[in-house]
Each structure stands twice: as C-alpha cells, then as structure tokens.
Amino acid sequence: MATKALGLIPVKNRVKLIETAYGRAGDRLVGILSELNPATFTAAIGGRARGRVNAIVRDLDAFAGKWARAAVREAYAEGSTFARTRLENIGAEKKPPAKFNPGRHERAIAALVSRTAGDLLKANRTIATSAGKYLSLLSLAAAEVRKVEAFEEVEVEAFADATLGKGIKRIVKRSIGGGPDAVSSLARGTISRMIKSYLLKKIAGADFITIKDRHYSLKSYSEMLARTGLREAQTKATKELCDQYDNDLVQFSQHDEPCGDCEQYEGEVFSISGKSDKYPELPPEAEPPVHPNCEHNLNPTSENALSWRSR
Ligand SMILES: [Zn+2]
C-alpha cells in the first residue's frame, strides 16, 4: 500500500492529537470566559466574547472534519492489515473482484468518517450553546449587581438557569441582608467578585459539552468519541475483510483483565452471517467497542484454526 511515510500516524497518537486540540480549545474558552466580570460586563463585551467563542468552535469544526478523514482511514487500514494477516495465516482466500467489489472499503470508510465527524460537530454545537448560556448568565448577574447598588429588589427568577440563579440570589441576599447601610459598606466590587468566583466554579472543568443532559470536558469527550470511532472503524474493516476472504467466523479477543461488559464475550466465537450451525450469530452488542474506551477486537478465525489450536 502506498502511504506517505510522514503522513502515517499510529492510531493511538491520533487520539492524543484530538485530545490535545480539544483540551487547548477548552483552556482558551475558560480563559475568555473567566476574564469577564459581572461588575464591568456590558452587551458589547459579551458580544466580543461570543465572537471569540464562535471562532474557537469554527476552528474545532474544521479540525474535527480533517481529523476524522485522516484518523478513520488509518484505523480502518490498521484493522484491515491485522485482519488480512490473520486471514492469510488461517489459509483463507481472497474472493475475485467480481464477488467482492473492493470499492466497498472506500464506501465503508466514507460512512464511518461522516458519522465520526458528525458526532464531533454535534458536540461542538453544544460547546457554543454552553458558552452562550454562561454569557447570558453573566449579563443577568451584571444587571443584578447594578440593582444591588441601587438597593432594588433582586429578581432572580429572571435567571435562565434556576440552580445558578439561586446561587447568585443567596450571595446577593446575604449581601443586602443588613439593609442599605450594609450594602453601602459592601462595595459593588465585592458582591461582583463573589458572584464571579461562584460562576468560575461552574466552568472550572471546561465541561462545555452537553450530551443527553450530562456535561463533559472537551478533552475527555473528544477522546471518548475518537476511541469509539476508531475502534468501530477497525471492527468494520475486520468484517469487510472477512467478507472479502469468504470467512465467516470471528473470535472476540481475550485480555488479562476484561471489563464487566466484555467478560461474557471473551474468547467467544461468532458467525458473522449467522449461518453457522455451531456458533451463534455475532450480535451487534458484541461488536467492539462494546462500551466507551473498549480495547477489545474481533479476530478472524475458522473451524480449522480452532481445531488446530485445541489440539
Ligand atoms: Zn471491552
């Protein structure tokens, strides 16, 4: 296979690459948002911050597409090489192109790239949304800080996020609890700082990715998506190679310390087509990755290979 030596990056380093890029973007977002202060926050400042956030998300979108195109192809190639070696070792023979169109590999890669990139872009959208929510919250906090100075009643109900709204309400109430004298003794800056440190805690982990109501940091979520997408590519490559070599059986890999989800499948032999009368059909849930960060894989095998091994 013609591969530019310099362009070839091992799959595990590809994961590192995306983790680093997303980790940096998360740090930059925290940097931009934590500079903002409820005491000095204005619509113009918020608008500029939103522009910078959007630029970071646009960069991540471009990165995600490029990353998925290169990494998925490499993972697929890695899976193919591994499966092909194994298939040739067990004496399987390649079907002629009339029986297996090699273009199927390209179509499989294209579908996997589009799904992996799509998952990343979806996560990126939620980054923009989370940062936007934080900016709205800051703008409301800024309005409350101004009211504290005027000693007006604080309308926390206006807060978009009830939990954060309550947190700020507590801070403001404690501050104005002593009446106008207490407020005048408490500088607006102090209340503002209290609200700010409260808000900062909310973004400390850079958990800007929200999927099904759960929050994830850019770094850990991109790593999880990357590992899942690349493991899927390797499994798909193994299945396509088995088809190309007319080989129906695969064996679930065995590890020293299998995780709970995979233990039941360890060493099990499955039939891809489901037509074997000896081995069960490979269920979709036994196709690695079985769970996030699953390290298992499927190895092509055959009746002959299995009986030879058991001898
Ligand atoms: Zn596993």
pLDDT, one tens digit per residue, over 116-158 is 999 999 999 999 999 999 998 888 888 877 776 665 544 444 4
As a whole number of angstroms, the distance between CA 135 and CA 41 comes to: 10
Return the pLDDT at 157. 43
Return the pLDDT at 4. 36
Q: How confident is the model at residue 172 (pLDDT cuts 50, 70, 90)?
A: low
CA 284 / ligand 1 centre spacing (Å): 14
CA 93 / ligand 1 centre spacing (Å): 30
Q: How confident is the model at residue 300 (pLDDT cuts 50, 70, 90)?
A: very high
Are 235 and 288 in contact by the 8 Å Cβ rule? The answer is yes
CA 230 / ligand 1 centre spacing (Å): 14
| Residue 250: strand pairing partners | 270, 300
For residue range 75-124, list pLDDT tens digits in order.
999 999 999 999 999 999 999 999 999 999 999 999 999 999 999 999 99
CA 295 / ligand 1 centre spacing (Å): 5
Q: Which two tokens stand for residue 36?
A: 């903002």
Residue with tokens 């619509």: 43
CA 299 / ligand 1 centre spacing (Å): 14
Mean predicted confidence (pLDDT) in 7-34: 88
CA 265 / ligand 1 centre spacing (Å): 9
CA 289 / ligand 1 centre spacing (Å): 6
Closest CA to 267 of 299, 308, 227, 230: 299
CA 272 / ligand 1 centre spacing (Å): 19
Q: How confident is the model at residue 200 (pLDDT cuts 50, 70, 90)?
A: confident
CA 261 / ligand 1 centre spacing (Å): 7
CA 291 / ligand 1 centre spacing (Å): 6
Q: Which two tokens stand for residue 246?
A: 């007319």
CA 298 / ligand 1 centre spacing (Å): 11
CA 255 / ligand 1 centre spacing (Å): 9
**Which has more pLDDT, 290 or 141?**
290
Return the pLDDT at 105. 97
Q: Which two tokens stand for residue 60?
A: 């991540």
CA 101 / ligand 1 centre spacing (Å): 31
As a whole number of angstroms, the distance between CA 209 and CA 244 comes to: 40
Residue 160 has pLDDT above 60, yes or no: no
